[in-house]
Structure formats: structure tokens, C-alpha cells
Amino acid sequence: MTYVALVRPRWSDMDVFGHVNHAAMVTLLEEARVPLLFGEAVKAGLTELPKGVVVVKMSVNYHAPVIADGQDIRIELSLKELRFASFTLGYSVHNGPSEADKVAVTAETVLAPFDTVTERPRRLSDEERVFLEEGLRSA
């Protein structure tokens, strides 16, 4: 099971070569995960996860250009790894809104829950682990 986000690249996201540039792609990946880690987490009754999550590491692999042509792109998120104090999200970015559209980008981010009061990373709670496992089974 994966979480699916539809995100619309903006005209300003394109570079001189006519495709979405790297910095904009990183932002689009963020826009795909924010509703899950903040909106869906709050709906699930989680209060600490939305208060602080930091990106520890990110990798982005390009397979085809992504063009800002006025339509949404489909970003599928899955849970690649779950540790006690971090988790890895995998992304498949399709060049359109459909699952049948070509995968143009694959990416991974390692994220860690962060306590904003102590300014230190923290362990995931059991409830947070269940939320991630149930909502993001690896594809």
C-alpha cells in the first residue's frame, strides 16, 4: 500500500532546459509528504510527529524530464525502512496524474522525529510506528 499525492508543478519550477529543476523537484517531494506526515498524522490522533520531523538524508534519481504543463504529477510514497529513531520514505514520481504515466523520478528521504523543546532527535512512538507501517507498506 502506498500513499498517493497529486502535486502540480509550477511554470517557475522549470529551468532553461524546459524541465522541472532539481531544487523544485525536492520541493515537490516535500509537498507530497507534508499532507501525510502532518495532515493524516493529526487525523490519526498523533500529536508529536507533526511538531517536528527533519530530513536526515535525501537522494533523487532522474529517469525522464518532468515538465510543468498545467497538469498534476502523481507521487507515490512508500515506507522503505522503519527504525526506532528514523524512517525512510521512497517516492515514485509519475509524469502525470495516472499510475499508468511513466515514472520520471525515484527518490528516498531518511527522516527523523525531532523534539523542538530539547532540540534533539527522538524515538518514534509505538503509535507513530503503526501509523507509518499501516499507511505506507513498501511497494
In angstroms, the CA 131 to CA 125 distance is 10
**Amino acid (1-letter code) at residue 24:** A
> Which cell numbers hold the place of 82?
522503519
DSSP code for 99: T
pLDDT digits (tens, 9 = 90+) for 98-112: 989 999 999 999 999
**pTM for this entry:** 0.91
CA distance 25 to 45: 30
Bridge partners of residue 90, in order along the sequence: 78, 108
Q: Domains of the chain (ranges plus CATH)?
A: 3-135 (3.10.129.10)
- pLDDT tens per residue, range 62-113: 999 998 888 999 999 999 999 999 999 999 999 998 989 999 999 999 999 9
Q: Is the pLDDT of residue 50 over 70?
A: yes
